[in-house]
């Protein structure tokens, strides 16, 4: 009969301690390899956050924006494939040329200043302001408490820069670049259809409820006409410089002897003033009017700037004064 030797207790205890120590080391190694969900989320957010400098400071986006409030920059948003949470309006006046895409979007009235409560209720995750004026009177501080807020210097002078900035903010730079390239190509094609305009002068007149305005050559349709299409501004237009418009009296109107005039009537409230202008002998005796070269255009996009607005302006210009 084979005898089984008894193992001393101290040997058993020693083996047990070694075994437990080995397990502890293994668990510690595993804990170093697997991070907690909270820590992982923080690291991901930090890696994806982006900081942008603007004219009033800087702002940080922790995620890709999906709900944007960008008053009077809706043209750019639509080009980038996004609808705003609210659309700009002035009383009942909205940007009619964008209404096919924005009809269902709630308007925010800028008469007397926009409602901060309405902006807050729309829950934007990005606010884009196209000029420091929109951020004045403490608005920048109020908006910044609602969502990250970016303020541009002056988008009216350079809508393409605005589109690129928004494309960067929304992580849609390719869409912005493609739209700009398409527009520049269209402008070059349009120029080739305006060869008869060599040496001819052009002006834009805006009829408002209480006065007549001569538009400058830098903002809105002025830039399209005189920069993008290379047409020649009338001397009175040149004298405006960087001013966006200037009042012009009926008595001074005869000095506007441009070869071509585009004119717009700003809403139903301006109809009375328009009748006063068109019935006057000052208007009737202008060279452009007498030769049939005065054209009514749509103020909703001739008083706007952006890919969609400028494209429509070019289409009007080619249709009205292009080579036949």
**Percent of the chain clearing pLDDT 90 (strictly above):** 76
**Looking at 42-46, 55-59, 155-159, 245-249, which range is the least confident one?**
42-46
What is the average pLDDT across 228-254? 87
Q: What is the mean pLDDT of residues 138-163?
A: 91
For 57, phi then psi, to 5°, come to: 145, -135
Domains detected in the chain: 47-179 (3.40.50.1980), 193-321 (3.40.50.1980)
The pLDDT value recorded for residue 43 is 46
SS3 at position 154: coil
- Please tell me the predicted confidence (pLDDT) of residue 141: 97
For 21-42, the pLDDT digits (tens) are 444 444 444 433 444 455 444 4
Instruction: Give Cβ neighbours of residue 178 (< 8 Å, ≥ 6 apart).
Output: none
**Residues 6 or more apart whose Cβ sits within 8 Å of residue 67:** 85, 122, 123, 124, 125, 126
CA-angle at 217, arms to 270 and 182, nearest 5°: 100
**Between β-strands 87-89 and 149-151, what pairing exists: parallel, antiparallel or unpaired?**
unpaired
């Amino acid at each position: 009969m084979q005898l089984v030797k008894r193992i001393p207790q101290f040997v058993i205890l020693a083996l047990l301690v070694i075994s437990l120590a080995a397990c502890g080391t293994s668990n510690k190694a595993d804990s170093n390899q697997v991070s907690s969900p909270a820590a992982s989320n923080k690291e991901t957010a930090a890696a994806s956050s982006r900081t942008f400098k603007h004219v009033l400071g800087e702002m940080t986006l922790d995620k890709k924006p999906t709900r944007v409030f960008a008053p009077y920059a809706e043209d750019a948003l639509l080009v980038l494939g996004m609808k705003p949470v609210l659309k700009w309006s002035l009383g009942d006046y909205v940007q009619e040329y964008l209404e096919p895409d924005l009809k269902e979007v709630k308007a925010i009235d800028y008469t007397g200043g926009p409602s901060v409560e309405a902006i807050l209720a729309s829950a934007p995750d990005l606010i884009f302001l196209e000029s420091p004026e929109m951020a004045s009177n403490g608005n920048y501080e109020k908006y910044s408490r609602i969502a990250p807020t970016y303020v541009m210097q002056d988008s009216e002078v350079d809508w393409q820069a605005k589109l690129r900035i928004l494309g960067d903010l929304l992580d849609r730079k390719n869409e912005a670049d493609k739209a700009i390239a398409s527009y520049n190509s269209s402008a070059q094609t349009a120029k080739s259809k305006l060869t008869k305009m060599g040496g001819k002068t052009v002006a834009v007149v805006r009829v408002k409820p209480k006065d007549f305005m001569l538009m400058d050559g830098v903002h809105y349709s002025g830039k399209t006409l005189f920069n993008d299409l290379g047409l020649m501004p009338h001397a009175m237009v040149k004298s405006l410089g960087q001013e966006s418009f200037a009042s012009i009296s009926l008595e001074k109107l005869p000095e506007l002897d441009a070869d071509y005039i585009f004119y717009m009537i700003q809403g139903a409230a301006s109809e009375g003033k328009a009748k006063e202008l068109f019935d006057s002998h000052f208007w009737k005796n202008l060279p452009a009017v007498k030769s049939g070269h005065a054209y009514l255009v749509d103020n909703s996009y001739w008083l706007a700037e952006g890919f969609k607005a400028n494209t429509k302006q070019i289409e009007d210009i080619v249709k009205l004064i292009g080579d036949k």
